Chains A and B, each alone.
Chain A
Amino acid sequence: MEDIDAIALLQDPVRRRLYEYVAAQGREVGRNEAAEAAGVQRTLAAFHLDKLAEAGLLEAGSRRLTGRSGPGAGRPAKVYRPAPGERAVSLPARDYRTAAGLLAEAAEAAGLDRELQDAARRRGRALRGPAGSCGDIDAVAELLAARGYGPVREDGAVRMRNCPFHAVAEDFPPLICGMNLALLEGLLEGSDGVRARMDPRPGWCCVVAEPSKNNQN
């Protein structure tokens, strides 16, 4: 299915709620749970979840949600998780990803890590806007959500499920993750006691936002 057709499926508000819920969990989600989260009947949720899986926006699998196995454990339940890969539509056609890849390749070859980090830090500061502060850690999480990072609270810190620069970050990790950290450092400089730190884990954004020790009350 072409990107534009897959994305168009999300015009249905129920489908969109289901997709956004599954995408935000970072684990397999069963039909009952998804239905409850979207506030619809299980059969309707199942219909839409399967549509999303057919379109390649979600991946469907089966799992025994009770944790039991063997005879008497019942039929495995159908579960859904976000599909890997990206969908994008630009009208008229634009191709910033090729441009980003080429620029990253050239910056890597030229050893421009620090120049890129400086530019990213300046951009982060500029994104804060005239108020100069992005507030406390809750406000920071909101801001990160708006920028597509998919923030998740964990032990008082904010971890990010999504890397907005994924494709180039996979090809040039030190360059692009360094850029991402500098961008977030610039963005968080004016916040109330929140700092950005690099703490990569497989499958997550390389940065964590956490209360800065200096500013803890």
Chain B
Amino acid sequence: MTGHHLAQFNLATLTAPLDSPALADFVALLDPVNALADAAPGFVWRLTEEGEPDATGLRPAGHDVIINYSVWESAETLWDFVYRTPHLDTMRRRREWFRRHAEAHLVLWWIPAGYTPTVEEAMERLAHLRGHGPSPRAFTFASAFTAREAEDAEAVVS
């Protein structure tokens, strides 16, 4: 639906510090995979730390937890980037680099097109998903809601 974009936020708990040999392959993939995202159909925005190429230095959810935050035109364009580009090859190796999360670690929600969401509201949406399960306010790929459903539930703006 035009007028809305999809925000995506996820956490990953590192198995070792980012500058350790265990994470070297992951770190080497950051720039090429981010470039792939930036050029992907439907890509709108991703969070970067000021003066840095990515957001891995920001640790709002814990010293060993990196975040990934992006905005897409639709759930389909996000899905195709995540699972139908070389990005999938990095996900295949996720257990080498990240700990398993007992709770939800990825959250999706609709925002007005043109709006840049904040880290605070991402943490709030993730907490909402964890506390209440999937809803138009905070959902996952497996339990997706449309922008219309989010609008009807008055869940587009915080």
Using CB atoms and an 8 Å cutoff, list the residues of chain A in contact with chain B. Answer: 110-111, 113-114, 117, 171, 173-174, 177-178, 181, 198-202, 206
Contacts and interface: CB of A to CB of B under 8 A. Distances in A.
11 contacts: A110-B100, A117-B92, A173-B83, A173-B88, A178-B91, A178-B93, A198-B89, A200-B83, A200-B85, A202-B84, A206-B88
Dominant SS among interface residues on chain B: helix
Given A111-B95, A113-B94, A171-B142, A198 B88 contact: yes
Which 4 pairs show the lowest CB-CB distances between chains A and B? A111-B100, A174-B91, A178-B92, A173-B83
A198 B92 CA distance: 9
Contacts of A171: 142
Contacts of A181: 92
Nearest to A117: B92
B100 A200 contact: no
A81 B93 CA distance: 35
Interface in B118-154: 142
Interface string B92-112: 111110011000000000000
A110 B99 CA distance: 11
Contacts of A178: 91-93
B84 A200 contact: yes
B81 to A, nearest CB: 10
Contacts of B142: 171
B80 interface: yes
Most buried by B among A110, A117, A177, A201: A177
A114 to B, nearest CB: 5
B98 to A, nearest CB: 9
Contacts of B86: 198-200
A114 B88 CA distance: 15
A200 B91 CA distance: 12
B85 A177 contact: no
